[in-house]
Chains A and B, each alone.
Chain A
């Protein structure tokens, strides 16, 4: 009798499994459709944008919209600016964040808790908005409308994240490995560079990529702090009202591309990083 009863729950489990699989697939398709549509819009000729009704399956492929986008004065410069700001943010966030993360992971020191609270507190604040009072000061010290100025504010956005992530990374590397290095004649710095760094590198790289994405995507601070040296988001945002639709679609698509690649590269670290960083 038990043998006859046994298959039913297993079959039920298989059924829910299949049902959930189908549901997940539907969600995934819905999630991807917007990305597909912006790609199609960016690679359609200009007249398709205003066509009515639109063909649901694209028939024409054209690079003209994207070429038009890149030929607009200022787009290339803004793109290079965005890359430069994001690269600076990435370096600053790591240079400031990794040592602090190491200190949090390896030492017990007075004020440690206060420091932790300050970092976690930053999350309760809309940091980008703090760029507003900085405008006046930045004008006074010559940082207004410079890439460095924007990068500094973006670093403030990325730094708390970099500190928490690197501290959890270093915590995951056994202290004993390092201590073995010391007994075998490595200096503290030597042991760090030869033993800890290689192990932490992939995770640190993922954290750097995130800092890059935070900066590449930021709109408000970049718009407020620049005038002529616009980053790409600030440039697109400022020209939103007067630019034609196909220009906006091309710009939107171009903004989306790096994130597709970046999220794919760091997908393994996504949960480890956010999970621990948010505890």
Chain B
């Protein structure tokens, strides 16, 4: 049927060339930048500079805390919402549209949106004042209230980025044949039993891709934090940005980039192993 055996290669070639130039090459370049001086000598100076930086440990800690709280919460919320959607009778499309709006909102814009709510004279404090909890403007977005600051970033991130998990899970739920659930119901399985014994195991491939995608993106958290907390809450990508834009040191910035890359790849491999998907469960 193939008229010309070279045709598929011709069709694929431009995208391969592009990805080599703008994905594989920068990848290799990141490693080179992080380990090689402009004179061409190998060095661990940049790595040591990164690790020795006061903000590094802090940024790493903050990023890990955020990822460890945000990602599991988002998966639970998205699962809950996806299950709710199954049961909603009216306005299903409207709910879906509203829940997926943040999918198109940039992290910077989401940070600013939540700044309007959480700033000291913002709407949250106005409501708290109305309820008689607060007397005057109170700052939550400062390093002096670290727990409140973390909570603010977490709420903003959950609002912004749960949609991507939701979309992947809803698409996965739609692929599960209805007969499985009906059969289980006939045999007397309750709603919870059906969820844990049928829906959840069959959702594993979707859960896996959602977790990989979301975790990689969560390690990139940056503009939301910056819009809400400024420099009070250093995160890894923010430090990479500072080394590049403020201190003009691409080498240390690349060391950060390399570090973030390795952490991302590590988490991906972890999910691939922990949620191993057997071939036959794929539809």
Contact = CB atoms under 8 A, between A and B. Distances in A.
Interface of A: 16-17, 20-21, 23-25, 27-28, 31-32, 34-35, 37-38, 41, 49-54, 56, 95-97, 99-100, 102-104, 106-107, 109, 112, 115, 118-119, 122-137, 152-153, 155-156, 159-160, 163, 179, 188, 213, 216-220, 223-224, 233, 236-237, 240-241, 245, 248-249, 251-252, 255-256, 258-260, 262-264, 267, 270-272, 274-276, 278-279
Given A20-B88, A34-B159, A124 B216 contact: yes
Contact of B130 (A56, A224, A233): A56
Contacts of A27: 81, 84, 95, 99
B41 interface: no
A95 B90 CA distance: 40
B37 interface: no
Contacts of B74: none
B9 interface: yes
29 contacts: A20-B88, A23-B84, A28-B98, A28-B99, A38-B112, A51-B121, A52-B126, A54-B126, A125-B264, A126-B260, A129-B30, A130-B26, A132-B240, A159-B15, A159-B19, A217-B109, A223-B245, A233-B223, A248-B227, A252-B113, A256-B105, A256-B109, A259-B105, A263-B103, A264-B97, A271-B171, A271-B174, A272-B171, A275-B168
A137 B13 CA distance: 23
Given A255-B106, A263-B100, A279-B209, A24 B29 contact: no
A132 B257 contact: yes
Given A52-B121, A219-B223, A153 B250 contact: no
Interface residues of B, number: 104
Contacts of A219: 106-108, 222-223
B220 A128 contact: yes
Interface in B37-96: 81, 84-85, 87-91, 93-96
B200 interface: no
